[in-house]
Amino acid sequence: MALIEVRQVEKIYDAGMVPVHALKGVSLRVEPGEFTVVVGPSGSGKTTLLNLIGGLDKPTSGTVLLDGIDLAALGRGDLVDFRLHHIGFVFQAYNLIPVLTAEENVEFVMLLQRKPREVRRKTVRDLLKAVGLGEKMRNRVSELSGGQQQRVAVARALASGPSYVLADEPTANLDSEAAGTLLGIMETLNRERKTTFVFSTHDPRVVGRARRVIRLVDGRVSEDTTRALT
């Protein structure tokens, strides 16, 4: 069974006089452990696709299966619970809580999961160390650089023990050095922890590191290429 399976998905937004046909018959599968990017020009449907496989939106037609579950069939409460336990999110704007420390931001999702304090503390320490921020645990995120904040966001995305991590333009606000550091960390997590990553991006730095590239043009898959590991 694929980790993520998209079957003939259409997504149409009601934008007034002229509806926007964002996705047109998209089908794809993502297997556990992949390091995949979705690329394409603005308006090609990248973010829409990530929103669908993240359970943040529902298709107009077609099916999105995550761990074999059709999220469109879940009620609101069950959908929120599924996202909390199965999906990690990394956003372009970080979406951290600025008045909290790095460790408090990472711990927050586990508080929602009602995990024991001892488990939360160990997970926070391990993850912040893994992303190179072990010495910044008690800094408020407002005191950290953009690259460091995005690394906190990666640690937070992993804290729930998700089936996969979705990253929407994660390097867009980072300089070359910070982006390279972040991507190296994600590659290490993918290789050593077998964490599945799916990115949407315009960034050639991200595309260059991907082992699978899915290209969208006008809401359709125009290319799906897998590269051999080196």
Buried b (16+ CB within 10 A) or exposed e, 130-169: bbbbeebbeebbeebeebbbbbbbbbbbbbbebbbbbbbb
Question: Looking at the domain assignment, is residue 7 inside a domain?
Answer: no
Sheet of 212-217, strand order: 87-90, 164-168, 197-201, 35-39, 212-217, 220-226
Question: Looking at the domain assignment, is residue 22 inside a domain?
Answer: no
Q: 133-185, pLDDT tens digit by residue?
A: 999 999 999 999 999 999 999 999 999 999 999 999 999 888 899 999 999 99
The two beta strands, 4-13 and 87-90, are unpaired
Q: 177-228, pLDDT tens digit by residue?
A: 999 999 999 999 999 989 999 999 988 989 999 999 999 999 999 999 998 7
Looking at residue 190, its pLDDT comes to 92
Question: Looking at the domain assignment, is residue 81 inside a domain?
Answer: yes
Question: Looking at the domain assignment, is residue 105 inside a domain?
Answer: yes
Single pTM value for the model:
0.91
State mean pLDDT over 73-79: 93
How far CA 106 is from CA of 121, 128, 157, in Å, comes to 10, 8, 8
Looking at residue 149, its pLDDT comes to 94
Dihedral, CA of residue 20, residue 87, residue 196 and residue 185, to nearest 10: 100
How many structural domains does the chain have? 1
Looking at residue 18, its pLDDT comes to 83
Question: Looking at the domain assignment, is residue 68 inside a domain?
Answer: no
Q: 81-135, pLDDT tens digit by residue?
A: 999 999 999 988 888 999 999 999 999 999 999 999 999 999 999 999 999 999 9
Question: Looking at the domain assignment, is residue 93 inside a domain?
Answer: yes
Q: Residue 50 is part of a domain; what is its CATH number?
A: 3.40.50.300
Helices (H), the chain: 46-53, 76-86, 102-112, 117-130, 146-159, 176-193, 204-209
Q: Provide the CA 147 distance to its chain's centre, in angstroms.
A: 17
Residue type at 129 in one-letter notation:
K
Q: Which domain range does residue 91 map to?
A: 32-58+76-226
| Confidence category of residue 230, pLDDT binned at 50, 70, 90 | low
Question: Looking at the domain assignment, is residue 129 inside a domain?
Answer: yes
